[in-house]
Structure 1
Amino acid sequence: MRISMSGTRRWMLATALCGVLITGCSGGGDDAKPQAKPAAEPKPLAVGALRPMLLSQADLGTGYVQVQEKPDSEKFDDVSVQGCSALEKLGQSGDETMFAAKAETSFTYDTDATLGEELHSDRPSVLSSKLRKLFGAYTSCPTYTMTAGTTPIEVKVAKSATPQLGDEQFAYTSTMELPSGAQVLKTMAVRKGNVAVMLVGAPALVDRQMKTAVGKLPSGS
């Protein structure tokens, strides 16, 4: 598994997202007798169509500063996870993206808090099954150990409440025992049709901005 190590803020953000890069998983088949063909699902949106839906400083208000992202090849270092078989399996997938299209951005808030956003697009059934797998893996282990270099970091995970937005909602909170002290991050995703919004950062910022993020999705998605 790999996470960003270019500064404490980016390192913590990527820690919460390290399981996003997993291999494709099947939503399951049905061998029952043939039925009438279901209506065709909406196709995935292209990356270029996702980018205008990302949050901006104007959407978030005062105090937020957008962070310039580096290419993936420049911002990752190896880390490992022990004590959670589901997360270890996610980490074996390499750098294959989870969904058909992805766009992302991140912000600092008042210099010491962070908010990261990812938009993913795929067929609705694929988004649903893979989000369930991802969040199911993270919430399957109440504690695990992550090693960055030679430093072991204890992580505690708990499911979190979600707002009634979109078609599906998922959330959990991570508490990491860092050398500088305990740090808490919240990860929340909302699927609306063929687009999913994922926010990661300080719990108060994620709770405050998710409605705004979902509101930028097209009504037909």
Structure 2
Amino acid sequence: MATALCGVLITGCSNGGGGGGDAKPQAKPAAEPKPLTEDALRPLLLSQADLGTGYVQIQEKPDSGNFDDVSIQGCSALEKLGQSGDETMFAAKAETSFTYDTDATLGEELHSDRPSVLSSKLRGLFGAYTSCPTYTMTAGTTPIEVKVAKSATPELGDEQFAYTSTMDLPSGPQVLKTMAVLKGNVAVMLVGAPALVDRHMKTAVGKLPAGS
């Protein structure tokens, strides 16, 4: 602690000699970029033109509360996350989703905040989801067994996070991949069929402004 204070308060940390003329004040850390607004994020979302043929954008209201009856059992980290969901919220958010060939989906969320906040909260979020190899998700009265495994990530942006979840649904197993890439003050998160997430993440990150 004393060393850190000496770095800031040079004049108050003399080594006792008179020959301290070579000491130079440390540069002030650069200020973090401010979060973008939702209006600034929306043009950065993927579009049908970005994705190509076969994709249809889903028209829906964001945060419509469709998942209010979903609960988690068998994974304490996720249970705590659900109880304090506001801790994972960022300053601004924009989202969209698509179907592909009628039976596959791809959802995108853009989050913006200070880079240190994005990094810390994404680490916590993905750390919670990969902390338990299996857990039970109850949607209404239907329990669904979920298996989770960490996934490889591409060399994009400043930080990358990914996991794959397999849900044992009555209609059969469904595999979804969740991947996030942090670049400056924006994080791109894609959720959907693993092949679609892998295919379009580079395009999604490429739409972000160079200074973000």
**Which bin holds the TM-score, normalised by the shorter protein?**
0.7 to 0.9
Using the TM superposition, name which of 87-96 and 137-146 deviates more.
87-96
- Compared CA separation, residues 147 and 22, structure 1 to 2 (3 A): farther
Aligned mates of 2:4, 2:144 — CA distance in 1: 13
- Compared CA separation, residues 152 and 43, structure 1 to 2 (3 A): same
Secondary structure in structure 2 of the residue aligned to 1:65: strand
- Compared CA separation, residues 76 and 184, structure 1 to 2 (3 A): same
Aligned mates of 2:7, 2:142 — CA distance in 1: 19
Q: Could you say which structure has the greater relative contact order, defined with CA pairs below 8 angstroms and 6 or more residues apart?
A: 1
Instruction: Say if 1:22 and 1:97, in contact at 8 Å, map to a contact too.
Output: no
Aligned mates of 2:11, 2:96 — CA distance in 1: 22
Aligned length: 209
Task: Please give the per-residue CA displacement for 1:133-192, whole angstroms capped at 9, x wherever unaligned.
Answer: 000000000000011111110000000000000000000000000000000000000000
- Compared CA separation, residues 71 and 189, structure 1 to 2 (3 A): closer
Aligned mates of 1:157, 1:201 — CA distance in 2: 14
- Structure 2 match to 1:17: 5
Aligned mates of 2:95, 2:119 — CA distance in 1: 19
Using the TM superposition, name which of 76-85 and 31-40 deviates more.
31-40
Aligned mates of 1:186, 1:109 — CA distance in 2: 15
- Structure 2 match to 1:75: 66
- Compared CA separation, residues 37 and 204, structure 1 to 2 (3 A): same
Aligned mates of 1:17, 1:182 — CA distance in 2: 56
- Compared CA separation, residues 14 and 28, structure 1 to 2 (3 A): closer
TM superposition shift of 1:35: 6.8
Instruction: Say if 1:22 and 1:96, in contact at 8 Å, map to a contact too.
Output: no
- Compared CA separation, residues 182 and 167, structure 1 to 2 (3 A): same
- Compared CA separation, residues 103 and 71, structure 1 to 2 (3 A): closer
Aligned mates of 2:11, 2:98 — CA distance in 1: 28
TM-score (norm 1): 0.82
RMSD across aligned C-alpha pairs, in angstroms? 11.1
- Compared CA separation, residues 96 and 68, structure 1 to 2 (3 A): farther
TM superposition shift of 1:73: 3.7
TM superposition shift of 1:75: 3.1
- Compared CA separation, residues 30 and 195, structure 1 to 2 (3 A): farther
TM-score (norm 2): 0.85
Task: Using the aligned pairs only, state the percent identity.
Answer: 92
Aligned mates of 1:45, 1:139 — CA distance in 2: 29
Instruction: Say if 2:8 and 2:25, in contact at 8 Å, map to a contact too.
Output: no
Matched, 1:139 2:127: no
Q: How does 1:202-217 map to 2 (within 5 A)?
A: 202-217=193-208
Instruction: Say if 1:21 and 1:96, in contact at 8 Å, map to a contact too.
Output: no
Secondary structure in structure 2 of the residue aligned to 1:44: coil
TM superposition shift of 1:17: 42
- Compared CA separation, residues 153 and 74, structure 1 to 2 (3 A): closer
Using the TM superposition, name which of 74-83 and 160-169 deviates more.
74-83
Instruction: Say if 1:166 and 1:191, in contact at 8 Å, map to a contact too.
Output: yes
Which structure 1 residue ranges, 5 or more long, are not aligned?
A: 1-12
Using the TM superposition, name which of 137-146 and 76-85 deviates more.
76-85
Aligned mates of 1:15, 1:67 — CA distance in 2: 55
Using the TM superposition, name which of 118-127 and 91-100 deviates more.
91-100
Secondary structure in structure 2 of the residue aligned to 1:219: coil
Which structure 2 residue ranges, 5 or more long, are not aligned?
A: none
